[in-house]
A and B are shown apart, each in its own frame.
Chain A
Amino acid sequence: MYGKIEQKCKVTRIKLVKRVLEFNNEANSIVYRRLLNNALEYECEIVSSDAMFIEPVAPIFVPKQITYYILIEFVNSILLPPEGLVKGYTTMPVDIAVFSMKDNEYRVVDIFSENNVKYALYGPKNEGLVARYYKTKFTHNIMKPEPFKESVVPLEIINSHNKWVKLSQILLDSRLLRFYYKREGIAYTQNIKVNVTSESTAVIEYEKEFPGDLFEARKPLKVSIFMPSHRRTEMMWGL
């Protein structure tokens, strides 16, 4: 489950996909453990925490943060005529973060992934971007994502170019992504608009809010001076 951990007994165990998270109340602190096949992967003691949360976050933290970008490749390419528009859905991977809350201040306790993590280069070898890589499908109907592994991405694709274009991948900036979730482990991002501007370029725009009635996930990355000034990502090296 995503959201606030209800710690009714001394030990609370939460099974995700392959991993089990254990929250052990010890006097003034909580001992947090992450287990894989009953073997301890990570342990941390949190002193005087008000609440603990499990939430989906951008898939850029495992095994360590080396990029802000996510490259989603579609197994089914999309062909769009000039001025063509299509609305649909895709999925992207999510990492899972455990947050500790104290006096409205939160701190990341742990970030891990239940996915097989892979990165790829988007663009040329001399100036391209390393991005988290994920292969998935584009569908017209909302698909059920794999709980604790995927997030639904609502997409609107517009071809502003005067020729037919083929779209087989999109590049997302995790700093502009927002994640929303349902308690049962289903995550969503806000609506994303892909504006194809030529045969090899596109502009990705991010809506501010998700229209549905869901919980909004916290962000492990705090707002910094390195935040992009525009709420968009430019794809310059192929679609």
Chain B
Amino acid sequence: MEVFKPVIDLISRISSILTLDKILASLLIFIIGIFLAYALRRLIYKTTYRVTPLHIAKALSNLVYYIIVAVVVIAILSIFGVNVTGVIVAGGIIGIVLGFASQTIVSNLLAGIFLYWDKPFKPGDPVSIENVAGVVEEISIISTRIQTWDGVYVRIPNEKVFTTTIVNYGKMPVRRVELKVSIAYREDFEKALEVIKRLVDEHPLILAKPEPVIFVSELGSDGVEITIQVWAPTSEWIQVKRELLWLIKKELTKAGIEIPFPQRDLWFRTPLEVKIIEKK
């Protein structure tokens, strides 16, 4: 019988801990706790996924779920007389350590949430952030990913995105293209204006409204400067800008209108003597 004594001791100790009322109480806490955790997870997900990105809603609802599960486990352990003070203290210390370690992550995460609400840009928008210009590929909870014009992948932490100046080139439906062209002083300005106006009128992607503006902006040292301000759909802005200047140059040349290059006429106060030396 001495052989079974430790086993009997263990059973008697377990039976003293596992009383029916304790089992019932812990079962009740477990059922209510898990039900509450599930319900809250569902509720938080359903309410947040409309206003935040899907991954944020998922992470937030899961966080709440696991916190409640942890509280339920601690409560059940304490019912059975397990000293949970140590667990709580350890959890607290781990929390503080993690808190310090994840300061940047948390600030990035909060910036990500604020960016989502503020909506300064969306995936696909052409932007310039922190001197990085390109198309927004993805806005995640921690960072924003941009593909630059030359095809380089850049990841910017959301904290930086949130605190820096953001230029969104695609937010408005239309953008203005401004070009400057010089014509020589001797050329017929009216004719040049007519050529440019015809080009602007014929270009399908230059908007009729807002109306294009063409005017003499400067009487420069080399020629008369003409400024052309036209509006184009934002998605076609770069194409219009690329095409228009070349078309203007081509048509002005075809019309015989000179586009001057920088030049200086030099006048001498005293006449210059020119010597012709004949070589024998």
- Listed in ascending order, the chain A residues whose CB lies under 8 Å from chain B are 62-63, 66-67, 116-122, 125-130, 133
Could you say which residues of chain A place their CB within 8 Å of the CB of B210?
A: 121, 125
| A66-B209 in contact (CB<8A) | no
Chain B: which residue is nearest A133 at the CB level?
B208
Whether A130 lies near B207 (C-beta < 8 A) is yes
B208 and A63 form a contact (CB under 8 A): no
Q: Contact residues of B with A, CB < 8 Å?
A: 172-174, 201-202, 204-205, 207-210, 231, 233, 235-236
- Please determine whether A126 and B172 come into contact, CB atoms closer than 8 angstroms: yes
Judging by beta carbons under 8 Å apart, are A133 and B172 in contact? no
B204, A121: Cβ atoms under 8 Å? no
Question: Do A63 and B173 form a contact, CB below 8 Å, given A119-B233, A121-B209, A121-B231?
Answer: no
> A129 contacts which chain B residues (CB < 8 A)?
173
* Distance from A4 Cβ to chain B, minimum over Cβ atoms (Å): 30
Give me 12 other A-B pairs in contact (C-beta within 8 A), A125-B210, A130-B173 excluded: A116-B202, A116-B204, A117-B204, A118-B204, A119-B207, A120-B208, A120-B209, A121-B210, A126-B172, A126-B173, A128-B173, A130-B233
The 10 closest A-B pairs by CB, nearest first: A117-B204, A120-B209, A120-B208, A130-B233, A133-B208, A118-B208, A66-B233, A121-B174, A120-B207, A121-B209
Identify the closest chain A residue to B236 (Cβ).
A66
A126 CA / B204 CA spacing, docked (Å): 21
Chain A contact residues: over half helix, strand or loop, or mixed? loop
Structural contact, B202 and A121, CB atoms closer than 8 A: no
Q: How far is the CB of A52 from chain B (nearest CB, A)?
A: 27
List chain A residues, Cβ under 8 A from B208: 118-120, 133
Q: How far is the CB of A65 from chain B (nearest CB, A)?
A: 10
Given that A66-B235, A125-B210, A130-B233 are contacting pairs, would A119 and B173 also be in contact in the complex, using a CB cutoff of 8 Å?
A: no
Given known contacts A66-B235, A119-B233, A120-B209, A125 and B173 CB-to-CB distance under 8 angstroms: yes
Query: Could you tell me if A128 and B205 are in contact, using CB atoms closer than 8 angstroms?
Result: no
Q: What is the CB-to-nearest-CB distance from B202 to chain A, in angstroms, rounded to a whole number? A: 7
Task: Kindly list chain B residues whose C-beta atoms are within 8 Å of the C-beta of A119.
Answer: 204-205, 207-208, 233
